[in-house]
């Protein structure tokens, strides 16, 4: 959905984890999905720039999943996660994230915070199954499992018209081509 920004994403994860009662990775991933979807629709860019993969339990941000695996020690690249583990967050088990600090809001714009707050409110009181069911939407259903979800379908799901969907998709293609 754009160019992935690890620092902004870490701060978004911390922002979420400090505002939900149970910060399990499933809930964090769904909140990120809805925040990115909302922000992309309203402002023409996602917060994280991550690519969402259609997994069994709904959309999963690919790079966030890689970061989580590394911090948990489940990845070949786990040694690179020491700074995150020391300074930002860790896991008490494979699924519950524990923030070690508040998010640094200097990295998150007002519109980022608005979309994160929207998604937190939408998801914070839902169960694992409710979040899974809700995220099995048009975008998820139009995608083969373990494949990237189309930005166009993510925008269609939120109700954007086809002209806007095509405009944003083309804008993102141009931005990604320039990197």
Q: What is the pLDDT of residues 163-176, one digit of tens each?
A: 999 999 999 988 88
Q: Convert the pLDDT of each residue in 5-48 to its tens digit.
A: 999 999 999 999 999 999 999 999 999 999 999 999 999 999 99
Token output for 21: 């009662």
| Average pLDDT estimate for 104-131 | 98
* Other Cβ atoms within 10 Å of 120 Cβ, number: 17
- Across 91-95, 125-129, 148-152, least confident range: 91-95
Query: What pLDDT is attached to residue 121?
Result: 98
| Average pLDDT estimate for 78-83 | 78
Q: Convert the pLDDT of each residue in 134-151 to its tens digit.
A: 999 999 999 999 999 999
* Phi, psi of 166, deg, nearest 5: -65, -40
Query: What pLDDT is attached to residue 3?
Result: 87
Ordered by start, the domain boundaries in the chain are 6-177
Contact 62, 5 (CB under 8 A): no
Query: What pLDDT is attached to residue 148?
Result: 96
Query: What pLDDT is attached to residue 138?
Result: 94
- Across 19-23, 67-71, 123-127, 175-179, least confident range: 175-179
Q: What angle do CA 130, 126, 150 make, to 5 degrees?
A: 60
Q: Which residue has the tokens 């786990």?
A: 78
Contact 36, 47 (CB under 8 A): yes
Query: What pLDDT is attached to residue 178?
Result: 63
Does the structure show a pLDDT above 80 at 77? Answer: no
Token output for 88: 């930002």
Distance (Å, rounded) from C-alpha 43 to C-alpha 67?
A: 26
């Amino acid at each position: 959905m754009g160019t992935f920004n690890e620092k902004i994403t870490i701060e978004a994860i911390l922002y979420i984890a400090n505002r939900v009662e149970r910060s399990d990775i499933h809930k964090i991933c769904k909140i990120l999905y809805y925040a990115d979807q909302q922000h992309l629709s309203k402002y023409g860019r996602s917060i994280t720039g991550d690519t969402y993969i259609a997994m069994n339990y709904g959309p999963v941000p690919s790079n966030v999943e890689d970061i989580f695996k590394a911090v948990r020690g489940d990845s070949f690249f786990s040694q690179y996660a020491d700074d995150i583990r020391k300074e930002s967050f860790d896991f008490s088990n494979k699924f519950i994230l524990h923030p070690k600090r508040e998010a640094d809001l200097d990295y998150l714009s007002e519109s980022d915070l608005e979309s994160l707050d929207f998604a937190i409110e939408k998801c914070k009181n839902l169960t694992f199954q409710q979040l899974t069911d809700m995220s099995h939407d048009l975008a998820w259903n139009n995608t083969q499992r373990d494949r990237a979800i189309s930005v166009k379908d993510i925008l269609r799901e939120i109700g954007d018209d086809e002209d806007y969907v095509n405009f944003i998709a083309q804008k993102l293609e141009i931005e990604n081509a320039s990197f």
